[in-house]
A and B are shown apart, each in its own frame.
Chain A
Amino acid sequence: MEEAKGALRIAALDAAAARRGLCVGEPLADARARVPDLVAHDADPQADAALLEHIADWCDRYTPLVALDAPDGLLLDITGCAHLFSGNKSDDGERALLDDLVPRLRAQGFAVRAGLADTPGAAWAVARFGGRPGLQGAIRIPPRETREALLPLPLSALRLEADTVAALDRVGLKRIADIADRPRAPLAGRFGPDLITRLDQAMGFAEEPISPRLPVAQLSVERRLAEPIAREEDVREALRHLASLLARRLETAGLGARALEFTLFRVDGAVRRLVVGTGAPLRSPARVLSLFAEKLCKAGDELDAGFGFDLLRLSVLESQRDDGTQISMDEEAAQADELAHLIDRLGARLGLRAVTRFLPCDTHMPEHRSASVPAALAREDALFWIAETTGGAGPTRPLRLLDRAEPVETVAGVPDGPPLRFRWRRAFYEIARSEGPERLAAQWWTRGADAPTRDYFRVEDTAGRRFWLYREGLYERETAAPRWYLHGLFA
């Protein structure tokens, strides 16, 4: 489901749902009213697109000319490729290709409809509109029979705007046959030249180039080598060269890399890819090199140069604005820079997830005030700690918070008086001064919601040691016998 026209609507559905009479575009609320046991998920167009990309990658095996026909189609230009799949008769080759492709995709769990024809338009049309509804499999239009195959199809098979199809439908023109032999000027005059173009493209009267998918790297530099290289030193040297080329390109664009890919193409066609992420925008060649150095040395044996690499490519997969920093005289800034580099280096070796740091969390519960997150993911601006002090009262939170509050025995006044003395880890403490209670109630919406309210006291004993204690449970309102805990120590 997705949000469209002010309501949650069904974006796609499976066969079972279709059998129950639901349809794409229907508001979810209506659908629910009719099919209460409907299971719905949020539409994720990005994931769909990514999946389509993956399938396109996979289709590389049939032809280098694969084009995306988003959101759910792929166009393969198999001119000159089909024969690779069987013998020399191109006719059989096409069938063999389909025989290979369709079952393989199905085995991966996809529903597949394939069309194969002389023109991209015709292939598109039969793949989507040929055969009976609900058909799975492939339809091939033999060479030179395109016209006959297209005639019975509806006009939407021509890849027209929905408006145009609707307008044609209203004057009674519904099938390709209805317009194929009609005088063209009146049609073009009424429904736009696009109609004629599309018709001609499908019929093969007009050329239609397909635009193959291009690598999506934002920036990339590559080096083709006349003489393949295999030694690690050579690879490093080539990488250094690429990194400095890239640094210049990045600087011109005002960008810093957050993720980089180093691709090594082996002479025999095998491809190795190494990817690194960074904690801060990066373009220094030396740093890039050192990040990949960790990887290269870890990959070590696996790299397996075989007969050597003849093409090396360094691409920026992800970047972030970086307008360059002035050289800082500020100690802290320099340290922050060092820290970022340290995180990158540790991350490259141990994995970025393994290097963590604390982030402040917005909650009343003291033990949940901070969380540890992968350091590379933390943005500097999120590291904002609120001063836990009040005017003149000193810090209200202890320097050391115990991992787990420890029970203590106390003497205290009811209902909410401060403790007078307490025993912790078998030692007695006589309280000289105290402040509180600061009352913190449970986060009732979480599990274990009936946790009692806590009354925190800041206390100082006769020796000047300061503690953070709390009483668990409000006297009478929540419990008859509140219990006491020590939760932290002030410096």
Chain B
Amino acid sequence: MTRYAELCAATNFSFLRGASHPEELAVAASQLGLAGLGICDRNSLAGIVRTHLAAKEAGLRYAPGCRLVFSDGTPDVLAWPRDRTAHGRLTRLLTLGNRRAPKGQCHLALDDLREWGEGLELGVIPPAQPTASKTPIRETLRALAGTFPEAVRLIATMPHGPDDRRRLAGLAHMAGEAGVPLMASNDVLYHAPHRRRLQDVLTCIREHVTLHDAGRRLEANAERHLKGPADMARLFRAHPEAIDETLRLLERLTFSLDDLAYEYPDEPVEGFADPQAALEHFTEEGAKFRYPDGVPDKVRAAIRYELNLIRELQYAPYFLTVFDIVRFARSRGILCQGRGSAANSAVCFCLGITEVDPTRADLLFERFISPERREPPDIDVDFEHERREEVIQYIYARYSRERAGLAATVITYRARSALREVGKAFGLSQDAVAALAGTIWGSSKSGTQEAALRAGLDPKEHTLSQVLELSRAIAGFPRHLSQHVGGFVITRGRLDELAPVQNAAMPGRTVIEWDKDDLDALGIMKIDVLALGMLSAISKALEMLQRHYARQLTIATIPAEERPVYDMLCRADSVGVFQVESRAQMTMLPRLRPREFYDLVIEVAIVRPGPIQGDMVHPYLRRRQGLEEVSYPKEELRAVLHKTLGVPLFQEQAMRIAIVAAGFTPSEADRLRRAMATFRRVGTIGTFQAKMIEGMAANGYERDFAERCFRQIEGFGEYGFPESHAASFALLVYASSWLKCFYPDAFCAAILNAQPMGFYAPAQLVRDAREHGVEIRPVDINHSGWDNDLEAREGEAPAPPLHANHRAMTGISCATHAVRLGLRQVKGLKQGEMEQLTAARGRGYDSIRDLWLRTGLSRATIERLADADAFRSIGLDRREALWAARALAGGGMGGKTGAKADLLPLFDVESLGDLSREPDADLPPMPMGEQVVNDYRYLRMSLKAHPVSFVRTHLHRARVRPNAELVATPSGRNVCVAGLVLIRQRPGTAKGVIFMTLEDETGIANIIVWPKVFEKFRAVVLGARFVQVRGTLQSAEGVIHLVAHDLRDVSDLLQVLSSDAGNMDATARGDEVKHPVEDFRQKPRPDARVRTLMGDTRGREPAPRDQAPAAVMPKGRNFH
């Protein structure tokens, strides 16, 4: 039996060249009975970890390598590291090439290889066309063999070209001359012949051509697949030594990725013997600070237990690293919070990494660094989103770029992008491609067939069926590497000897080639330095409390467990609150009725794919409401499930069940989790599924429960959500709720300043604040700063009353200030210019000219301020201000150049006639409707009125009810409502149901659109901004929904907002009568054919659509 190892295979990490996933190659290699597999991607090691794992799973000998592609004309050289040191040299070589090239490219020259090639096994691979490389093979061979004797070989392939045998003989001769061995390879691009089509399409995408035009840029045949030993032996029967050479080389390659033992960065702390001593010291100090009245025994015990574990596993440096970063952030006043499995430990609380008091939440510690798995601890730290960059640059500065870098994120083809690219390769018209891609909602993987049908295309038609089939295959292919949002890898030695480092798109960032799953799999520590908008908002709110209310608070010292906060959440009064503000969460709150901190932890975790797919939500709610008894599937699960009433909700619990109930070993459970997360393609899930369900059944569990548990784990694969994350999030839920409850004014201003974030647009946040009795004051040149801020309201009119819905809040709010909207709310203003404006304000501006002369702002900017109606304090309304602003430049539309350039024409005009002596402008006053439209246009909100209020009489006549009446309407009644579309949501877990949120002047209506209704009213659901819905009311437990039967786009009703246009239509018609205009409409009677041909639409052009009031209204945010 012949043995053969394929040592040169490209994965799809050779972007747009390789046409198979690493896992597919590994599985195929093992099935073909290859002695080993070597991966050589183009100037990249991005695919080697995945192959490593898959090869391990398949029991296949595996040699990571790289195909070096040079920019100096040298033919490609394959390189495989012999050992760990050589791997380090290879990664440094690639880093060198990456860092000197723009992102995504690698510039290497032969001399670089000669400098860094020590310890690498090399193979020179002749190009397919002899003319393709400038430097002759012979020369490269000689140069390399001279530098690295014994390490070089010549690669021969049999591509089934016109002269394979001649070519092979030539290569053998050349190898003999150079004194190097000949080695066989198939220069593999895909694992099986059927992937040729995919590879052809990838080539087309890469070359920006269609299949039809690609010609000989495509491979002539399907031969570049993995071939078995027998096939290869037959092809190379003239030179069997080339086959043997593959085995000889494989023997020499002893390097395995398992050798990349990770070393924690040194954290030398002065004055301590070792990191452990330092950690214990800081923990002790922190504990004293946290518990000034003495550390509770329970916490004391936890600290002792954790410190022992840390000592045993030698994790102290890791904790010190995180501690250092957090300490830096605090020294700069940057709010931060840790989360993750290790974060919610007593040690981390004492170190200030997290604010979750271990006495406050009784957390499961099972997943806290488990000794048997030796997995590195996992701590993510969230920072205020506006200031995270400071932290990142601190890390670079402290550890240097040689030791710190961001992890990569693999950007893959999604259904839509795949369809677009494949369609283009097939030469489909742009329109057809757009039609296909456009009908996919979000990133759903399925539904392309239906999409095609909807677009009027026949999915069974030959080309189209191929497009659909191939785009399905391409979906999930890596497309390029991007930077992870904040996953830092820090090493003791050089980072670039661990993995290749490359430039990120963002200047000042460097990224390593592996993503977080790769790092996780290799046991390499990473710290997630993440940005969180809510932390910015909380930080800003706390700062306002200090400034305006003289209350000094931190997240940790916000009074805990206050009843009114929970009361508020039980009423689903959570607009703006962290995490629990979404539609789904709002419907959950009144059912779950959180009463204590741990309830918030559950609240945060329960509306996730895991529990929903596992069908665990309703059982939990029933038990919580006391409708069902708390029981355990088996007594052994009591310990795992007692805190969640016997229903598994968290990822840790699902994994524990696999261990306790299905007999998985901890490391098997871990592989199961990973298989769900990343390696869905390989097909090992089936075996896990069988093992888990059968295992549980064998242990006496009900099959249904077992299946639900497995589905839940599948759900976690999409979006893992462990309890420790939920606990940290829950703390922010509480903090933001507390602020909203007691200081709605500061909460509103702070959250507006932290935009964009969260679920709601500024208009809803402002509206919510007003309904909670906060006075909101408009943007004004004499009062507003750049940011939204609070203003004292001494001796002024009483604050606006609480909205009926929030009457329960009477007397609870401590807010005494009004919110002054900041200039940042105005679209298109620049922060720098507005700071100029506030700086030069002094005692205030008394006219537009005064403002203009003192600030030096351009006319365009001042016009923008006028558009935003910001001159009321000097007695000018919008139109008057605009009229005055237009005069500044002295003419034309060219006045956008800035005040300096405009000075001369201004004085010209002045010398001609004093501006103040201009005749009175006497502009028509702007009707209220138009004011509101303009408010929306320039501020995205209006404090004056709600747009829907202008059409209320009309709606009333059409028997459309205000949303506020829904509360008092009995369930099951058919009703009709109308409103602006705020949000459309189609959660992946809801089987195509769409949730819409409508807003009118009285409140919100929640609409449910079933898929059938959606199909019928697709255009309205997706396109309308103002919509009228008829449906059946469903209300239960304080949750009110309208199940839609019928939807209508009524955006045109909003036309009345520009009501003087309406008036003018009347006058126009009047004039027509007054003045004899001849109308030939009736005279010529075009015959039927002509009539069909004459599709005139231009007619009298109505106001351009983007000027129409409806177009100014928010489009509605779409969530998936």
Contacts of A477 in B (CB 8 A): 193
Q: Which residue of B lies closest to A130 (CB)?
A: B1077
* Contact A393–B1084 (Cβ < 8 Å): no
Judge whether B923 is part of the interface by a CB distance below 8 angstroms: yes
Residue total for A at the interface (Cβ-Cβ under 8 A): 116
Q: Taking each of B892, B909, B913, which has the highest tally of chain A beta carbons within 10 Å of its own beta carbon?
A: B892
Residues B1082-1101 near A (CB distance < 8 A): 1083-1084, 1086, 1089-1090, 1093-1101
* Contact A149–B1077 (Cβ < 8 Å): yes
> How far is A42 from B909 in the complex, measured between Cα atoms in Å?
49
Judge whether B463 is part of the interface by a CB distance below 8 angstroms: yes
Of the listed stretches B214-222, B385-393, B406-414, chain A binds B214-222
Residues A160-182 near B (CB distance < 8 A): 161-164, 166-167, 169-175, 178
Of the listed stretches B351-359, B427-435, B574-582, chain A binds B427-435
> How far is A197 from B890 in the complex, measured between Cα atoms in Å?
17
Contacts of B492 in A (CB 8 A): none
> How far is A357 from B119 in the complex, measured between Cα atoms in Å?
58
Residues A121-176 near B (CB distance < 8 A): 126, 128-142, 145, 148-149, 151-153, 156, 161-164, 166-167, 169-175
Q: Which residue of A lies closest to B1078 (CB)?
A: A140
> How far is A32 from B890 in the complex, measured between Cα atoms in Å?
46
* Contact A152–B212 (Cβ < 8 Å): no
* Contact A14–B1095 (Cβ < 8 Å): yes
Of the listed stretches B286-294, B340-348, B1017-1025, chain A binds B1017-1025
> How far is A170 from B1072 in the complex, measured between Cα atoms in Å?
26
* Contact A192–B892 (Cβ < 8 Å): yes
Choice from B925, B1086, B1104 contacting A106 with Cβ under 8 Å: B1086
Judge whether B1071 is part of the interface by a CB distance below 8 angstroms: yes
* Contact B456–A193 (Cβ < 8 Å): no
* Contact B886–A171 (Cβ < 8 Å): yes
Of the listed stretches B136-144, B155-163, B659-667, chain A binds B155-163
Q: Which residue of A lies closest to B204 (CB)?
A: A445
* Contact B918–A186 (Cβ < 8 Å): yes
Judge whether A49 is part of the interface by a CB distance below 8 angstroms: no
Choice from A72, A126, A183, A437 contacting B160 with Cβ under 8 Å: A437
Judge whether A238 is part of the interface by a CB distance below 8 angstroms: no
Residues A3-41 near B (CB distance < 8 A): 3, 8, 12-18, 20-21, 23-26, 28-30, 32-37, 39-41
Contacts of B431 in A (CB 8 A): 1, 8, 28, 40-42
Q: Do A174 and B1100 form a contact, CB below 8 Å, given A33-B1019, A148-B1071, A192-B891?
A: no
Q: Do A131 and B463 form a contact, CB below 8 Å, given A16-B1095, A109-B1093, A189-B891?
A: no
Q: How far is the CB of A134 from chain B (nearest CB, A)?
A: 4
Q: Which residue of A lies closest to B1072 (CB)?
A: A131
* Contact B919–A183 (Cβ < 8 Å): yes
* Contact A28–B166 (Cβ < 8 Å): no
Q: Which residue of B lies closest to A172 (CB)?
A: B924
Of the listed stretches B741-749, B774-782, B1061-1069, chain A binds B1061-1069
Judge whether A323 is part of the interface by a CB distance below 8 angstroms: no
Judge whether A336 is part of the interface by a CB distance below 8 angstroms: no
Residues A311-343 near B (CB distance < 8 A): none
Q: How far is the CB of A39 from chain B (nearest CB, A)?
A: 8
Q: Taking each of B212, B221, B891, B1080, which has the highest tally of chain A beta carbons within 10 Å of its own beta carbon?
A: B1080
Contacts of B216 in A (CB 8 A): 362-364
* Contact A134–B1090 (Cβ < 8 Å): no
* Contact B162–A456 (Cβ < 8 Å): yes
Judge whether A435 is part of the interface by a CB distance below 8 angstroms: yes
Judge whether A370 is part of the interface by a CB distance below 8 angstroms: no
* Contact A145–B1075 (Cβ < 8 Å): yes
> How far is A192 from B142 in the complex, measured between Cα atoms in Å?
76
* Contact A393–B222 (Cβ < 8 Å): no
> How far is A113 from B1081 in the complex, measured between Cα atoms in Å?
10
Contacts of A489 in B (CB 8 A): none
Q: How far is the CB of A90 from chain B (nearest CB, A)?
A: 15
Q: Do A109 and B1094 form a contact, CB below 8 Å, given A28-B434, A174-B1064?
A: yes
Judge whether B879 is part of the interface by a CB distance below 8 angstroms: yes
* Contact A364–B1097 (Cβ < 8 Å): no
Q: Taking each of A175, A438, A446, which has the highest tally of chain B beta carbons within 10 Å of its own beta carbon?
A: A438
> How far is A169 from B887 in the complex, measured between Cα atoms in Å?
16
Judge whether A190 is part of the interface by a CB distance below 8 angstroms: yes
Q: Which residue of A lies closest to B937 (CB)?
A: A170
Contacts of A188 in B (CB 8 A): 891
Contacts of A185 in B (CB 8 A): 912-913, 918
Q: Which residue of B lies closest to A14 (CB)?
A: B1095
Q: Do A192 and B893 form a contact, CB below 8 Å, given A25-B1106, A131-B1079?
A: yes
Judge whether B458 is part of the interface by a CB distance below 8 angstroms: no
> How far is A391 from B174 in the complex, measured between Cα atoms in Å?
15
Judge whether A453 is part of the interface by a CB distance below 8 angstroms: yes
> How far is A14 from B1092 in the complex, measured between Cα atoms in Å?
10
* Contact B887–A32 (Cβ < 8 Å): no
Digit string of A349-368 for contact with B (CB within 8 Å is 1, else 0)?
00000000000011110000
Q: Taking each of B200, B431, B439, B882, which has the highest tally of chain A beta carbons within 10 Å of its own beta carbon?
A: B431
> How far is A138 from B1094 in the complex, measured between Cα atoms in Å?
15
Q: How far is the CB of A252 from chain B (nearest CB, A)?
A: 40
Judge whether A87 is part of the interface by a CB distance below 8 angstroms: no
Judge whether B267 is part of the interface by a CB distance below 8 angstroms: no
Q: Do A445 and B426 form a contact, CB below 8 Å, given A131-B1079, A133-B1102?
A: yes
* Contact A111–B1094 (Cβ < 8 Å): yes
Of the listed stretches A58-66, A94-102, A268-276, chain B binds A94-102
* Contact A37–B1061 (Cβ < 8 Å): no
Q: Do A34 and B1080 form a contact, CB below 8 Å, given A170-B879, A186-B887, A186-B918?
A: no
Judge whether A490 is part of the interface by a CB distance below 8 angstroms: no
Q: Which residue of B lies closest to A368 (CB)?
A: B215
Judge whether B1074 is part of the interface by a CB distance below 8 angstroms: yes
Digit string of B456-471 for contact with A (CB within 8 Å is 1, else 0)?
1000001100100000
* Contact A107–B891 (Cβ < 8 Å): no
Choice from A95, A129, A192, A193 contacting B1100 with Cβ under 8 Å: A129
Contacts of A437 in B (CB 8 A): 160
> How far is A148 from B1074 in the complex, measured between Cα atoms in Å?
9
Contacts of B1018 in A (CB 8 A): 33-34, 36
* Contact B867–A141 (Cβ < 8 Å): no
Q: Do A34 and B1022 form a contact, CB below 8 Å, given A174-B1061, A362-B215, A441-B222?
A: yes
Judge whether A244 is part of the interface by a CB distance below 8 angstroms: no
Contacts of A99 in B (CB 8 A): 1080, 1083
> How far is A141 from B894 in the complex, measured between Cα atoms in Å?
35
* Contact A189–B1079 (Cβ < 8 Å): no
> How far is A36 from B1016 in the complex, measured between Cα atoms in Å?
11
* Contact A126–B1080 (Cβ < 8 Å): no
Judge whether B1060 is part of the interface by a CB distance below 8 angstroms: yes
Contacts of A191 in B (CB 8 A): 886, 891-893
Q: Which residue of B lies closest to A17 (CB)?
A: B1097
Contacts of A455 in B (CB 8 A): 160
Choice from A30, A111, A396 contacting B1095 with Cβ under 8 Å: A111
Judge whether A384 is part of the interface by a CB distance below 8 angstroms: no
**Can you give 6 A-B contacts (C-beta < 8 A)?**
A13-B1097, A140-B1078, A185-B918, A186-B921, A191-B891, A456-B162
Residues of B within 8 A of A (CB): 130, 160-167, 193, 196-197, 200, 211-213, 215-218, 220-223, 426, 429-431, 434-435, 437-439, 454-456, 462-463, 466, 867, 878-879, 882-883, 886-887, 890-894, 909, 912-913, 918-919, 921, 923-926, 934, 1018-1020, 1022-1023, 1049, 1060-1061, 1064, 1067-1068, 1071-1072, 1074-1081, 1083-1084, 1086, 1089-1090, 1093-1102, 1104-1107
Residues of A within 8 A of B (CB): 1, 3, 8, 12-18, 20-21, 23-26, 28-30, 32-37, 39-42, 72, 95, 98-99, 102-103, 106-107, 109-111, 113-114, 126, 128-142, 145, 148-149, 151-153, 156, 161-164, 166-167, 169-175, 178, 183, 185-186, 188-194, 361-364, 390-393, 396, 435-441, 443-447, 449, 453, 455-456, 458, 477
Question: Which 3 pairs show the lowest CB-CB distances between chains A and B?
Answer: A362-B215, A111-B1096, A34-B1019
